[in-house]
């Protein structure tokens, strides 16, 4: 990402989910959240590596216009060879990883991206709920998700370190 990239992106930018290729992977792995947010989401390089070993992983770069601004990874049990996660249902699609890089935050791109994620989740056969989780703490994304319409489920995951939330599709 260059300083020109952050100058070219505005709140009016068209957001899209774009397949990551060999040509684009370095730009995606270079995207970072604010230092205060690093405990809330894995880095993109780790996420992309994990995706190649998980049959249910569906991942994309988030673009604003032509500029990569973030990363998203879902766990979709309807993909070939995938199974529901842990005690989850076959109708649960998980928002596993989701980040907008620091220079592009507070432009409304996160909400636009979440609209696309929900649209994709609704297009998947048999999916009824989009689940996500967050690590509680100052600066966590809890309010962002609740404002969008997610509801607390009362369950935890990651050995109790994360709170689960759900959005009915």
Domain CATH number, residue 74: 3.40.630.30
Going by C-alpha positions, the residue among 32, 63, 62 that lies closest to residue 45 is 32
Q: Are 164 and 155 in contact (CB under 8 A)?
A: yes
Q: What is the pLDDT of residues 12-36, one digit of tens each?
A: 999 999 999 999 999 999 999 999 9
What pLDDT score was predicted for residue 22? Answer: 96
How many structural domains does the chain have? 1
The domain of 37 spans 3-168
Residue 3, pLDDT above cutoff 90? no
pTM for the full model? 0.92
Report the C-alpha gap between 157 and 9 in whole angstroms. Answer: 35
Average pLDDT over residues 105-109: 95
Cβ-contact 57, 50 below 8 angstroms: yes
The tokens for 91 are 């109708």
């Amino acid at each position: 990402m260059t300083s020109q990239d952050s100058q070219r992106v505005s709140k009016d930018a068209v957001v899209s989910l774009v397949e990551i290729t060999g040509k684009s992977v370095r730009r995606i792995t270079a995207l970072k959240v604010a230092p205060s947010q690093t405990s809330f989401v894995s880095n993109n390089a780790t996420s992309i590596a994990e995706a190649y070993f998980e049959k249910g992983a569906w991942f994309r770069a988030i673009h604003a216009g032509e500029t990569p601004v973030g990363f998203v990874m879902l766990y979709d049990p309807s993909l070939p060879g995938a199974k529901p996660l842990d005690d989850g249902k076959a109708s649960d699609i998980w928002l596993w990883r989701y980040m907008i890089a620091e220079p592009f935050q507070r432009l409304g791109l996160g909400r636009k991206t979440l609209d696309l994620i929900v649209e994709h989740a609704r297009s998947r056969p048999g999916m009824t709920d989009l689940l996500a989780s967050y690590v509680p703490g100052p600066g966590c994304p809890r309010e962002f998700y609740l404002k969008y319409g997610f509801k607390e489920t009362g369950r935890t995951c990651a050995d109790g370190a994360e709170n689960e939330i759900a959005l009915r599709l």
